[in-house]
Every structure is written in structure tokens, then in C-alpha cells.
Amino acid sequence: MEPAPVTLTDRHQSLDVLRGIAVLGILMVNIPTFFMLPEAYQYPPADPGFDAAGAQAWLFVHVFFEMKFITIFSALFGAGILLMTGYGPDSSTKVHYRRMLWLLAFGMVHAYALWFGDILVSYAVFGMIAVLFRKMSAGKLVFWGFFWITLTGLLMVGMFASFMMLPEEMDPASIGMAQSPEAAASIIAAYQEGSAGRWGHNALMALMAQLSGMALFGGRVIGVMFLGMALFKSGFLTAKWGVTKYAASAFVGLAIGLPLAWYGGQHAVADNFDLRGLWLHTATNYVASLLMAFGYASIVMLICKIPVLALLRVPFAAAGRMAFTNYLTQTITLVILSTGTIGLGLYGTLGREELIPIVLSIWMVQLAVSVIWLQVFRFGPFEWLWRSLTYWKLQPITKPKA
């Protein structure tokens, strides 16, 4: 039997709420890459304007957001594969592959025309692989999920641990962790002016991000997708666990993960982001992000089980149902703000602490617009387009009149 589009009555609100929170949380981590040199994502001092206020803003985002919400989003993508295809012997994957191919197309346009930090291409590629393992038991999915996550973690930490052999006065630009002052000024000017140099730089960074991301970070992505499948099969993501179990999961995940992330991040700030210590906050946050993502998700599931909080869930569920649209419109908004020609050209002019209010403003707008839009329409505009292309038939977009 070929899968059909998920109807409103088939949806699990808990998945929508968690997805909405995840897509908003991801923005807090992504936003520096729209306004700062790409190297500043991994090595904050690569930003020429980096200062003490920026360090504290980095620490806040590192502890509470970095890798936590993308982990949740990746797990939900794995759960969505099961929701789309099923995992019994008669389920079909033909539509799933068509859906992933269109996602790949969206991702390539997104990456090369707008923003190099795209995640859609990786999701499309690994989504086509993950579906092959959907029939595995939850236990096997957990085992292989952690296998790939651990392998990736060791690879990443090992790569950064090699920096310990660097001499104390090593210039970060000489090993690709920063730009020379001249190159930095040229890149910033290209983005502010919206010149051809901006497009070329973005395309180069997109290619590098896709190749290195899938090679070095791909195991984490597919591993977390496996965990998402397992959590869906176990009933965790559909709020079927008991309140006590969710509360215990939240406590354990955050009680261990939060101090671990704080320790590594605080050490990086105190050490002025010495490249030789980069492995430490990478390793601690790599582990902490898994624990905290599980803790955050447990809290959301608790909220979904409490009837009096139904109104609180509405805007986040709406944002989750429009996650694809919200993700892409975040990019469009930030490209307009950061680049020149048709935008404001703010690239290179804002510190990390100044980006946080922009994120909060986008959150408020997207939560409000998502609720209003879904009063009239069944899907977000990009969700509708993706569905229509997947099924090669225009899907109804407006809600039936009462």
C-alpha cells in the first residue's frame, strides 16, 4: 500500500509542539553565520569584533542551545520517516524517496542561492539511508544510533585534539580557523555590498560544508535519526509515557547535561578560546547535547500531557506544522538583514549579544503568523509546495468551510 499524506486527524500534537520548539531553537545557533565570518562559528575570536560581551553571549548559546535543538530536530526527522512510511512488511518507500529527492532539490537551492549552512541536503541524503532500517527493533536502533554517534564524536574530538600539538603562538589563519585581516575585510565588504564575491564565497562555503558535514558529522545525523525512530516506536515522542517517567528523564538529562555543557563552555571562555583546548568544549557539549535534548524533549512531553497547558501548546504546535516554511523564512529574513543590494547590509556590524534580540523578534513573529496562517490554510506555503511536488498533484491548501 502506497503512503498518503498525513491528515490533520492523524497528527500527534506532541510531535508538532516539539518540532516547533526545535525549529525556533535552531535559529539561536544559526544566526551568527548570517552576520559573521564562517570561521567564527567554531572559533569565536575569528570575528574581528569579538569581545567580552560576545563571549558571554556565546557561552549562553553554547550551554542552552548549541547542538541541543538540532539533535531534537534530527530525531523528529527519523520519527517522521516512520510516520510517513510505516514500518510493517507492506509499507512502501517509493513516495518517501520522491519526497527526499525534492527535499534535496530544495536544499541545494537553499544552500547555494541563499545560505551555506543548509541542513536540508544532509537530511535528504541520510533520510534515504535511514528508511532502510525502519523495521529494526527499538533496541537495535538505539544500539546502532549510539554506535554512529560515538564514532562521529571520536572523529571530531580527535581532529580537534590534534590542535594540542600546535605551538602556543600559532596564527589561527594559518590552519584555516580564521581569516587574515585583509581577507576578512574583503569578505565582509562583499556581503555588505551584495557583490558577486558574496555569491562566490557562499557557494564555496556551501560545497565545503556539505562535503565535510556529511563526511565528519554524518554519523551523528543518521545516528540521531535512528534514536528518533526508536523513541517513536517506544511511545516517548507521542506522549505515551507516564508523567513520572518523563519527569525522571528530564531531571537526569538536564542534571547531568547542563553542568557538563557549562563546564566545557566556561573553560573555553576562561582560556580565551585557545585552539589547543578546543577539543574540551567540543567533547563535553557533544555528550551534553544528547542528554539535554532528551531532557528538553521530556519536558515538552510533560507539557503535552497536562490539559491546563493546552493553550500554551497552540502556537508551538502551529510553528511545528509549518517548520519547513519557518526554517526557510528564517533564512530569507536574515539574508535580507545581513546582505546588501536589496537588504540592509548589516553583515559584520553586529556582536553576538546584539543577535539575540533579533532571534527573539523572529520567534514572536513566527509563532503569531503560524497560528494565524493555519486558521485559514491546512499547511504552510512551503509544506504545501513540497507535498504537491511529492505526490505530483496539487494538494488542497485552504481549510473546508464550516
Does residue 399 lie in a domain region?
no
The residue whose grid cell reads 564524536 is: 153
* Rounded-to-integer distance, Cα 23 and Cα 104, Å: 19
* Rounded-to-integer distance, Cα 117 and Cα 205, Å: 8
Does residue 159 lie in a domain region?
yes
Q: Which domain holds residue 136?
A: 13-163+173-391
- Tally of domains within the chain: 1
Identify which has the larger pLDDT, 256 or 343: 256
Average pLDDT over residues 178-185: 95
For 288-322, write each residue's pLDDT tens digit: 999 999 999 999 999 999 999 999 999 999 999 99
Identify which has the larger pLDDT, 226 or 340: 226
Computed over its alpha carbons, how large is the radius of gyration of the chain? 21
Q: What is residue 87's predicted lDDT score, i.e. its pLDDT?
A: 62
Q: What are residue 398's phi and psi, to 5 degrees?
A: -85, 150
Phi-psi region of 392 (alpha: psi -120 to 50; beta: other; left: phi over 0): left
Lowest mean pLDDT across 58-62, 120-124, 175-179: 175-179
* Rounded-to-integer distance, Cα 286 and Cα 373, Å: 37
Average pLDDT over residues 249-263: 98
Model confidence at 91, pLDDT cuts 50, 70, 90, reads low
**Cβ-based burial of 4 (10 A; exposed 0-12, middle 13-18, buried ≥19):** exposed
Average pLDDT over residues 347-376: 98
Q: pTM, whole model, 2 decimals?
A: 0.94
**Cβ-based burial of 121 (10 A; exposed 0-12, middle 13-18, buried ≥19):** buried
Model confidence at 166, pLDDT cuts 50, 70, 90, reads confident
Are 231 and 237 in contact, with CB atoms under 8 Å apart? yes
For 214-235, write each residue's pLDDT tens digit: 988 999 999 999 999 999 999 9
Does residue 144 lie in a domain region?
yes
Does residue 252 lie in a domain region?
yes
